[in-house]
């Protein structure tokens, strides 16, 4: 199968590698062609498409992009004359997935990726739902990316991704916000002493969360807004993840800061 991965980032390039491993003919297309993307693609021997117009020759497309861009990418693909299967593997709300499905039509397959970039078997799962899910599953046969086929719902894979990231990325933002609050209220020492007694994992976890999320916070923010919208569309309060979006937004300038400390992260959060 000829399959194109659009905008391959650190996750997308491992999706492309999995597709290649499963004997597909893999292409990539990224209008921005940032140095980081070029570096990533060079490590794999895959074909570059010069323009959106060449998508018409593809059997399949995988969209892996920041959640804010998912609809715009779908519109570009829809206008390109492409008529294969379209896997949207983005961290988007089920309502957003439904809108992408309306743009793409019957070729839409809903996806959600859980885990880090897929380099080792067992770490990373691609959830799929929708009518063509089994066909898309076959694209990844034998690769390190485990595929979990759900039902034919056009947005179940996005829903499970939203629920999952609501915890992992929500709790990260909450812990960093609490560290910032303790500093602002001048009770850091007392809080850390208490945590050392009764929540002994939290001092170390806050350090790890700061280091692990600083470079990625710029794109977590949009994902948090999608999760907030998911809660609200389900009649549940969206405030947890509106707040998480704001915390990650304040951290977005740390994107290119090498190895920032927790203290730096707290300062970014407080200097809104």
- Report the Cα 75 to chain-centroid distance in Å: 19
For residue 108, list its beta bridge partners: 86
Q: Does 201 bind its own copies (CB under 8 A)?
A: no
Rule CB under 8 A: choose which of 44, 69, 131, 175 binds its own copies.
175
List beta partners, residue 16. none
* Contacts to its own copies from residues 99-118, by CB under 8 A: 114-115
Under the binding rule (CB under 8 A), the answer on residue 181 touching its own copies is yes
Stretch that binds its own copies, among 18-26, 80-88, 98-106, 196-204 (CB under 8 A): 196-204
CB of 28 or CB of 127, closer to its own copies: 127
Q: Look at strands 2-6 and 25-29 and give their pairing.
A: parallel
Q: How many CA atoms are closer than 13 Å to the CA of 90, on its beta-carbon side?
A: 38
Nearer to its own copies, 144 or 171 (CB): 171
| Of the candidates 69, 72, 76, the residue with the CA atom closest to the CA atom of residue 49 | 76
SS3 assignment, position 154:
coil
What is the smallest separation between the CB atom of 31 and its own copies, expressed in angstroms? 33
Task: Decide: is 86 part of the binding site for its own copies (CB under 8 A).
Answer: no
* 194 near its own copies, rule: CB under 8 A: yes
Q: How far is CA 60 from the centre of its chain?
A: 20
Of residues 124-163, which lie at the interface with its own copies (CB under 8 A)?
A: 125, 127, 148, 150, 153, 156, 159-160, 162-163
CA Rg value for the chain: 20
Q: How far is the CB of 148 from its own copies (least distance, A)?
A: 7
Q: Which of 240, 251, 265, 268 lies at the binding interface for its own copies (CB under 8 A)?
A: 240
Q: According to the binding rule CB under 8 A, does residue 237 interact with its own copies?
A: yes
Stretch that binds its own copies, among 3-11, 27-35, 40-48, 169-177 (CB under 8 A): 169-177
Is residue 3 a contact residue for its own copies (CB under 8 A)? no
Return the beta strands (E) in 89-139 as ranges: 108-114, 125-129
Region of 23 on the Ramachandran plot (φ > 0 left; ψ -120 to 50 alpha; else beta): left
**CA nearest to 169, candidates 204, 217, 234:** 217
212 binds its own copies (CB under 8 A): no
Helix, strand, or coil (residue 25): strand
Kindly give the interhelix angle for 156-184 and 202-213, rounded to the nearest 10 degrees.
120
Q: Which residue among 190, 200, 204, 212 contacts its own copies (CB under 8 A)?
A: 190
**Minimal CA–CA distance to 44: which of 159, 143, 125, 166?**
143
> Using CB under 8 A as the criterion, which residues of the chain lie in contact with its own copies when the complex forms?
94, 114-115, 125, 127, 148, 150, 153, 156, 159-160, 162-164, 166-168, 170-171, 173-175, 177-178, 180-182, 184-187, 190-191, 193-195, 197-199, 202, 230-231, 234-244, 246-247, 269-270, 272
């Amino acid at each position: 199968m000829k399959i194109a991965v659009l905008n391959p980032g650190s996750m997308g390039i491992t999706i492309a590698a999995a597709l290649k491993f499963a004997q597909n003919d893999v292409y990539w297309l990224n209008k921005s062609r940032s140095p980081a993307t070029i570096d990533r693609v060079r490590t794999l021997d895959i074909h570059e498409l010069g323009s959106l117009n060449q998508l018409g020759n593809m059997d399949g497309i995988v969209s892996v992009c920041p959640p804010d861009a998912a609809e715009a990418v779908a519109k570009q693909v829809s206008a390109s004359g492409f008529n294969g299967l379209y896997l949207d593997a983005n961290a988007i709300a089920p309502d957003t997935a439904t809108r992408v499905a309306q743009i793409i039509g019957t070729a839409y397959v809903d996806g959600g990726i859980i885990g880090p970039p897929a380099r080792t078997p067992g770490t990373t799962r691609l959830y799929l739902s929708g009518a063509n899910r089994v066909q898309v599953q076959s694209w990844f046969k034998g690769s390190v990316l485990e595929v979990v086929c759900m039902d034919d719902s056009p947005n179940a894979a996005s829903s499970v991704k939203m629920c999952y990231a609501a915890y992992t990325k929500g709790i990260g933002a909450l812990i960093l916000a609490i560290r910032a609050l303790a500093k602002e209220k001048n009770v850091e020492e007392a809080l850390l002493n208490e945590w050392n007694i009764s929540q002994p994992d939290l001092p170390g976890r806050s350090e790890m969360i700061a280091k692990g999320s600083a470079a990625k916070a710029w794109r977590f923010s949009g994902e948090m807004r999608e999760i907030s919208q998911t809660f609200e569309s389900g009649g549940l309060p969206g405030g947890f993840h509106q707040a998480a979006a704001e915390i990650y937004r304040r951290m977005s300038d740390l994107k290119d800061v090498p190895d920032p400390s927790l203290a730096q992260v707290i300062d970014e959060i407080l200097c809104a």
